[in-house]
């Protein structure tokens, strides 16, 4: 009914100041939620990308049963051997939702520079797979800073370098390795031990990009290999910054004298499918005779940081969302209650002219809808403008627990906006209904005379 | 010009005022015939408004029957009663009750918006005719607060007539107007009554108007006295 | 004057108590001697057998020690032959044939089974720990002093040790190794079946150290010490730049 909408719009102009205040409350509430939600969306995708691709958890992590808990203390018993790896790969290859599969060996040890040693946690990766993961569009879009080595190039670009390793910036610093392979320009490593107390010890430590990695083999004896630092990178988490090392799978297997891997990771085409696919693949793998467990990336045991952070962010968003909802509801309730009160006699007049109760309700609901939609539209414009301004300003900050800084990006999605509209609009109408209903049900004569009194 | 439009039979109506019940109508019976132009006269508090409200179907009697074209209004469900008001009864209020954000044309158009079967073009024609009938053709796009009191009441009259009702009820339509304007409004109502054959029933306490109408119903203490 | 008498009495009482309980450092120094902590050079052989999860692994080392230095050369299994651990004071170097540089490793790091790297070299608790005698107990029928040891530095093998030293021969007979928070995680007992002569003095020398995992008693690592003998080693033997080349 076009005329009823026209009337609703005209009525909005009747108490301009009040409706403006209500509209502003709704618009700000919407814009606020849009920004907060947009920020949460950005953080979620950042943390998810970091967990899945940069911490190499994969969308699905496949461990030998019990391996997630026990592989660090009993690696030989809880790793996947070559035959198992092949069978897992076979099952994953048959699943069309899997985009990429990777094998990872995790281990600990000491990295030495000839003077001192620093404990490390190492990840052995397949360089070709690694290159594809770091170049993944999702990674490039969401977390390009962390995907790029701070210095040097990805492992895959050094097939000829024996024992190529990548060190986290903190680990390189602790070892005094300020230069990497590319920057040494072919200088042969110094023979023997540098005099660590000499005044030029720092310079001599930095003269080559060579490190020694020592660790216990899967057989239980001490072993060591030479490594050549080809790049230095930042880890997604601050707590791992001082002791993370990425080596080739083959190199790390040599150190630990094993053909096993700690886990295999499946990268999916669709993020959202991880949870659903995990039990399906686990069943399939078990049917193939493999005693393995499959964990989705958002399993707390796999990505405690992701799950913990998202839980916290979720509570904040929920809390503020409830506040905003309350503010929007109350201002709408206030506005509509006053409107109805002011127009009691008019309601009576409309009823006298033959408008039914339902039609009266319809008039007010249209009015509320018009006000809410206009306010939401304004809110969307405001939120979009603020988000664009913030994003364009390239504000950088250092989030807690994450190494390095990241850009403050606010990425509200259409889905977020629609969700907010789907919550706020019906809410506003519900509140209006609550405010108007009783009045429209009164006897016409009461409406006409009450206000006159 | 015959046939009963409205018939009230032994209508009682009282109002609660705190703990006490104040009788407004006490066994009132009355009949209005098609095309009649009737003034309802009585002191304030005599029950004029109550009577008009009952006839207009916006209030219900405690006992007795109010028949509009033979239908007992009180027995109708609310939506039916709304439809009856819309199609058969036009209201003119003492305080005009125009919608301030709608212009003259739109105010007059209101009753027609309810009945969706009326096409827009016909609606436009009828509104234009009604506005012309009350002599406000030049003011069609004016808002109520740009009009004088008399002009506003003309708008109200046009709105009451636009749906071609059987009966127009007017509760003290001239109470808020000066005497010159009052006479013009009454002239207009008389003219419309004559031209369109609409039944008019209006209340007033202005004795000067009595001489101008065909029938005067006087009520006092809730009953018809003449 | 009165004050002087009082302090004299106090002094007498302290020395009386001293006579009763031996000095902890003295006790440690005495017991360390029988576990390789000798200033002059000695040599012994070690067979290490670790049982873990029912699987047994063995390895062997030739250990040469002198003062604060020790050199442990792997002799078995064949694949580890030539690997050397060099203990310079508290610094430990791991040298592997073919590796460009030695790696400094930690004394605490697991060597094999329950044995830490620090367990195979000469023991020098007197140097590495602050000790206190906290009581007397009988261990395997032998009356012993019970000592609490706290690490002087972070790079020693254990943070805290409860150590029982027999009263008669002053030998460390039992040790409980504790985490920083005070939980026992390993228990060791010692046998002294070896004898050797150092500077004309014959002493008991450790023949076996048996280490049991506190949380998994079936995991037992046995370090057998064989053929201890006095031998003079040149200081250059313990220079890292000379090792493995």
**CA atoms C88, C93, C94, C97: torsion sign:** negative
B106-151: pLDDT as tens digits: 999 999 988 888 898 999 999 999 999 889 999 999 999 999 989 9
Q: Which of B52, B92, B113 to mutate to test the interface with A (most CBs of A within 10 A)?
A: B113
Per-residue buried b or exposed e for A216-230, using 16+ beta carbons within 10 Å of the residue's own CB? bbbbbbbbbbbbbbb
Q: Are residues A263 and A369 in the same domain?
A: no
**CA atoms C170, C171, C177, C183: torsion sign:** negative
Pairs across A and B, CB distance < 8 A: 70
Give the domain extent around B185: 4-224
Q: Kindly report the CATH number assigned to the domain that includes residue B209.
A: 3.40.50.300
Count of beta carbons in the 10 Å neighbourhood of residue A318? 10
Integer CA distances (angstroms), B188 to A22, B84, B182, B214, in order:
44, 25, 10, 15
Q: Which of C103, C107, C238 to mutate to test the interface with A (most CBs of A within 10 A)?
A: C103
Q: What H or E segment, with its residue span, contains residue A141?
A: helix A137-142
For A384, list phi and psi in degrees, rounded to 5.
-60, -40
Q: What distance in Å separates the CA atoms of residue C167 and residue C183, rounded to the nearest whole number?
A: 26
- With a CB cutoff of 8 Å and minimum separation 6, the contacts of C117 are A222, C85, C92, C105, C106, C107, C108, C109, C110, C111, C157
A77 CB near a chain C CB, below 8 Å? yes
**Partners for C (CB, 8 Å, 3+ pairs)?**
A
Specify the number of domains making up chain B.
1
String of DSSP letters for B8-23: EEEEEEEEEETTEEEE
| Chain center to CA of A153 | 26
Q: Of A302, A319, A345, which residue sits at a domain end? A: A302
Q: Are residues A322 and A298 in the same domain?
A: no
Q: Are residues A154 and A270 in the same domain?
A: yes
- pLDDT per position in chain C (245 positions), as tens? 555 555 555 544 444 444 467 899 999 999 998 998 888 889 999 999 988 878 888 899 999 998 888 999 999 888 888 899 998 887 889 999 888 888 888 777 777 777 887 788 888 899 899 999 999 999 989 999 999 999 998 888 889 999 999 999 999 999 999 988 889 999 999 999 999 888 888 889 999 999 999 988 888 999 999 999 988 899 888 988 888 65
Q: Give B9: exposed, middle or buried? Use CB within 10 Å, 0-12, 13-18, 19+.
A: middle
A412 with A30: CB under 8 angstroms?
A: no
For residue A187, the SS3 value is: coil
Q: What distance in Å separates the CA atoms of residue B23 and residue B30, rounded to the nearest whole number?
A: 18
Inter-chain CB proximity A3 and B109 less than 8 Å: yes
Inter-chain CB proximity B59 and A445 less than 8 Å: yes
Q: Which two tokens stand for residue A430?
A: 């519900």
Specify the number of domains making up chain A.
2
Of C80, C101, C109, the CB nearest to A112: C101
Q: Which of B74, B84, B71, B195 is nearest to B133 (CA)?
A: B195
Least confident residue range of A315-324, B15-24, B190-199: B15-24
Residues from C contacting A (CB-CB < 8 Å) are 50, 52-53, 57, 59, 80, 83, 85, 94, 96, 99-106, 109-113, 117, 240-241, 245
Of A7, A348, A359, the CB nearest to B114: A359
ipTM of this model? 0.93
* CATH number of the C38-240 domain: 2.50.20.10
Integer CA distances (angstroms), A275 to A283, A295, A313, A335, B54, in order:
14, 8, 20, 45, 68
- pLDDT per position in chain A (453 positions), as tens? 677 888 888 888 888 899 999 999 999 999 999 999 999 999 899 889 989 998 899 999 999 999 999 888 888 889 999 999 999 999 999 999 999 999 999 999 999 988 888 999 999 999 999 999 989 999 988 888 888 888 999 899 998 888 999 999 999 999 998 888 888 866 665 656 667 777 787 887 888 888 999 998 888 788 999 999 999 998 878 888 899 999 999 999 999 999 999 999 999 999 899 999 999 999 999 999 999 999 999 999 999 989 999 999 999 999 999 999 999 999 999 999 999 999 999 999 999 999 999 999 999 999 999 999 999 999 999 999 999 999 999 888 887 777 667 788 898 999 999 999 999 999 999 999 999 998 888 888 888 887 544
Per-residue buried b or exposed e for B175-193, using 16+ beta carbons within 10 Å of the residue's own CB? ebbeeebbbbbbebbeebb
Give the domain extent around A214: 56-302
Q: Are residues A414 and A311 in the same domain?
A: yes
Q: Are residues A78 and A117 in the same domain?
A: yes
Nearest CA in chain C to A213: C103
B202 with B167: CB under 8 angstroms?
A: no
For residue C37, the SS3 value is: coil
Q: What is the dihedral of CA B196, B198, B204, B208, to 10 degrees?
A: 40
């Amino acid at each position: 009914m076009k005329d009823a909408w026209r009337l609703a719009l005209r009525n909005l102009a009747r108490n301009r100041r009040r409706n403006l205040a209500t509209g502003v409350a709704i618009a700000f509430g919407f814009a606020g939620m849009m920004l907060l939600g947009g920020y949460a969306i950005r953080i979620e995708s950042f943390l998810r990308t970091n967990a899945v691709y940069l911490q190499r958890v994969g969308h699905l992590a496949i461990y030998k049963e019990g391996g997630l808990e026990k592989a660090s203390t009993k690696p030989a018993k809880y790793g996947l051997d070559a035959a198992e790896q092949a069978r897992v790969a076979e099952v994953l290859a048959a699943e069309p939702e899997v985009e990429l599969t990777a094998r990872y060996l995790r281990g600990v040890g000491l990295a030495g520079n000839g003077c001192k040693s620093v404990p490390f946690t190492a990840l052995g990766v397949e360089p070709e797979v690694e290159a594809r993961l770091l170049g993944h569009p999702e990674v490039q879009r969401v977390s390009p800073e962390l995907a790029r080595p701070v210095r040097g190039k990805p492992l895959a670009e050094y097939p000829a370098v024996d024992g190529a390793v990548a060190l986290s910036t903190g680990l390189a610093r602790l070892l005094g390795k300020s230069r990497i392979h590319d920057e040494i320009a072919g200088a042969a490593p110094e023979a023997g031990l540098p005099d660590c107390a000499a005044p030029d010890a720092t310079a001599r430590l930095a003269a080559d990009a060579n490190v020694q990695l020592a660790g216990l083999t899967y057989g239980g004896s001490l072993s060591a290999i030479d490594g050549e630092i080809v790049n230095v990178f930042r880890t997604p988490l601050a707590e791992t910054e001082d002791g993370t090392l990425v080596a080739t799978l083959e190199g790390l297997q040599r150190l630990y004298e094993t053909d096993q891997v700690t886990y295999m990771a499946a990268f999916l085409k669709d993020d959202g499918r991880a949870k659903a696919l995990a039990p399906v693949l686990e069943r399939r793998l078990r049917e193939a005779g493999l005693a393995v467990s499959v964990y989705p990336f958002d399993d707390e045991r796999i990505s405690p940081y992701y799950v913990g952070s998202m839980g916290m962010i979720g509570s904040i968003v929920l809390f503020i969302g409830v506040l905003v909802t309350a503010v929007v509801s109350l201002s709408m309730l206030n506005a509509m209650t006053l409107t109805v009160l002011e127009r009691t006699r008019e309601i009576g007049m409309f009823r006298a002219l033959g408008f039914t109760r339902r039609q009266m309700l319809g008039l007010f609901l249209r009015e509320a809808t018009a006000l809410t939609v206009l306010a939401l539209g304004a809110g969307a414009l405001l939120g979009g403008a603020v988000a664009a301004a913030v994003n364009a300003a390239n504000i950088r900050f250092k989030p807690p627990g994450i190494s390095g800084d990241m850009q403050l990006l606010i990425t509200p999605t259409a889905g977020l906006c629609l969700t907010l509209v789907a919550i706020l609009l019906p809410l506003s109408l519900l509140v209006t209904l609550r405010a108007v209903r009783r009045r429209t049900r009164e006897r016409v004569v009461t409406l006409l005379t009450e206000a006159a009194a | 010009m015959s046939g009963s439009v409205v018939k009230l039979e032994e209508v009682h109506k009282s109002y609660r005022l705190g703990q006490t019940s104040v009788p407004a109508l006490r066994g009132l019976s009355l009949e209005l015939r098609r095309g009649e132009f009737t003034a309802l006269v009585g002191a304030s508090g005599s029950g004029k408004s109550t009577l008009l409200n009952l006839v207009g179907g916006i209030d219900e009697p405690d006992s007795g029957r109010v028949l509009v074209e033979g239908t007992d209004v009180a027995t109708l469900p609310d939506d039916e009663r709304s439809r009856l008001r819309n199609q058969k009864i036009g209201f003119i209020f003492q305080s005009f009750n125009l919608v301030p954000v709608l212009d003259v044309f739109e105010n007059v158009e209101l009753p027609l918006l309810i009945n969706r079967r009326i096409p827009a073009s016909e609606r436009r024609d009828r509104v234009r005719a009604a506005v012309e009938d009350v002599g406000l053709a030049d003011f069609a796009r004016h808002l109520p607060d740009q009009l004088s009191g008399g002009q506003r009441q003309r708008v109200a009259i046009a709105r009451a007539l636009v749906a071609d009702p059987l009966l127009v009820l007017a509760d003290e339509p001239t109470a808020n107007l000066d005497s010159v304007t009052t006479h013009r409004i009454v002239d207009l109502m008389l003219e419309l009554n004559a031209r369109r054959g609409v039944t008019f029933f209006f209340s007033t306490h202005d004795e000067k108007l009595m001489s101008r109408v065909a029938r005067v119903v006087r009520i006092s203490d809730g009953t018809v006295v003449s | 004057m009165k004050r002087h008498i009082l302090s004299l009495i106090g002094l007498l009482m302290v020395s009386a108590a001293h006579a009763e309980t031996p000095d902890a450092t003295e006790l440690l120094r005495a017991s360390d001697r029988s576990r390789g902590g000798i200033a002059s050079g000695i040599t012994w052989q070690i067979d290490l057998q670790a049982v873990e999860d029912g699987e047994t692994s063995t390895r062997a080392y030739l250990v040469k020690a002198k003062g604060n230095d020790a050199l442990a050369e792997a002799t078995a299994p064949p694949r580890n032959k030539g690997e050397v651990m060099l203990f310079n004071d508290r610094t430990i170097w791991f040298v592997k044939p073919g590796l460009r540089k030695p790696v400094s490793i930690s004394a605490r790091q697991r060597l094999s089974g329950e044995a830490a790297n620090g367990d195979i070299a000469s023991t020098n608790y007197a140097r590495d720990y602050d000790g206190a005698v906290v009581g007397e107990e009988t261990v395997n029928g032998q009356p012993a002093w019970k000592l609490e040891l706290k690490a002087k530095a972070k790079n020693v093998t254990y943070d805290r040790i409860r150590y029982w030293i027999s009263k008669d021969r002053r030998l460390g007979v039992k040790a409980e190794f504790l985490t920083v928070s005070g939980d026992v995680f390993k228990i060791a007992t010692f046998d002294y079946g070896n004898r050797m002569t150092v500077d004309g003095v014959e002493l008991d020398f450790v023949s076996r150290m048996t280490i049991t995992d506190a949380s998994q008693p079936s995991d037992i690592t046995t370090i057998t010490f064989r053929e201890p003998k006095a031998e003079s080693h040149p200081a250059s033997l313990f220079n890292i730049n000379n090792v493995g080349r």
